[in-house]
């Protein structure tokens, strides 16, 4: 898409730019429909398991108010820090893109503009990945922060887009968040529509860690 848009700008052909956008949007919509159709049965099964888990023994419940309190207590090391990191990475990636195109324009002025745009994009991609890793933020796999959640004997039940879902036990990894007011959880991936990486905010992080740590299966984390 980037090549088509850049070439369309260079040649003054807006149809290439519009066509590239519609092509990518069409592919994305088709993929989402295909993914949703394939993941539907697993998603429904997960929702049924979440409903059963709600009726089992509760180990800890963290309300929306408790989550907000823990996020606020985390201060600059909590949710606000992640927002700042994300915004900073966007600015640095954009700066890398613009800097690359400017550098090419100064030292190789004969280079077509569309080609310098492509080069800037290719350079900014690895820079963005390195910054993501350095910032300790998840790459590729989204991490969900539930507004409230319930830990039961079966797993961690939480709300996502109006649906009750569950990250089932055993877990792959559990560790205390860097802010001290959260616990990072990795479960077993079921499919692309069911989150399995959670950041659980709580003022009782040590207690939650003691509850979840025995639910980690060592052979899954290796």
Distance CA 211, CA 69 (A): 21
User: Is 23 among the domain residues?
Assistant: yes
Q: Are residues 211 and 153 in the same domain?
A: yes
Q: State residue 139's pLDDT score.
A: 45
What per-residue confidence (pLDDT) applies to 123? 78
Rounded Cα distance between 39 and 189, Å, is 12
- 8 Å CB contact between 70 and 181: yes
Residues 152 and 207 in one domain: yes
Domain count, the chain: 2
Residues 153 and 182 placed together within one structural domain of the fold: yes
Q: What is the distance between the alpha carbons of residues 3 and 12, in angstroms, rounded to a whole number?
A: 14
Predicted local distance difference test score (pLDDT) of residue 93: 77
Q: Is 103 exposed, middle or buried (0-12, 13-18, 19+ CB in 10 A)?
A: middle
59-70 CB burial, b ≥16 within 10 A, e <16 = ebebeeebbebb
The verdict on 51 and 21 lying in the same domain is no
Q: Which domain holds residue 10?
A: 1-30
In the prediction, which pLDDT does 75 show?
A: 59
Instruction: Give pairs for 13-17: CB < 8 Å, separation 24+.
Output: none
pLDDT tens, the chain, 222 aa long = 556 566 665 566 666 667 766 776 787 777 777 766 776 788 899 999 999 999 999 999 999 999 999 988 865 444 555 666 677 777 887 888 788 888 888 888 887 776 777 777 777 777 777 766 555 544 445 789 999 999 999 999 999 888 999 999 999 999 998 888 999 999 998 887 889 999 999 999 999 999 999 999 876 554
């Amino acid at each position: 898409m980037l090549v088509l848009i850049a070439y369309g700008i260079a040649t003054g052909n807006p149809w290439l730019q519009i066509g590239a956008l519609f092509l990518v949007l069409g592919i994305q919509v088709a993929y989402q429909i295909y993914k949703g159709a394939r993941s539907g049965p697993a998603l429904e099964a997960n929702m049924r398991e979440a409903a059963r888990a709600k009726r089992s023994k509760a180990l800890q419940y963290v309300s929306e108010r408790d989550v907000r309190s823990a996020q606020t207590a985390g201060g600059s090391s909590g949710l606000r820090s992640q927002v700042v990191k994300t915004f900073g990475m966007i600015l640095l990636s954009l700066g890398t893109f613009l800097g690359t195109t400017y550098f090419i324009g100064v030292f190789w002025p004969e280079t077509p503009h569309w080609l310098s745009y492509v080069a800037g994009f290719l350079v900014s991609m690895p820079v963005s990945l390195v910054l993501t890793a350095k910032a300790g933020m998840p790459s590729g796999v989204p991490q969900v922060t539930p507004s409230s959640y319930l830990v039961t004997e079966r797993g961690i039940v939480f709300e996502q887009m109006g649906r009750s879902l569950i990250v089932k036990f055993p877990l792959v990894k559990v560790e205390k968040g860097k802010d001290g007011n959260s616990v990072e959880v990795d479960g077993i991936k079921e499919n692309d529509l069911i989150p399995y990486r959670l950041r659980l905010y709580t003022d009782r992080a040590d207690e939650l860690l003691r509850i979840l740590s025995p639910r980690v299966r060592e052979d899954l984390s290796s």
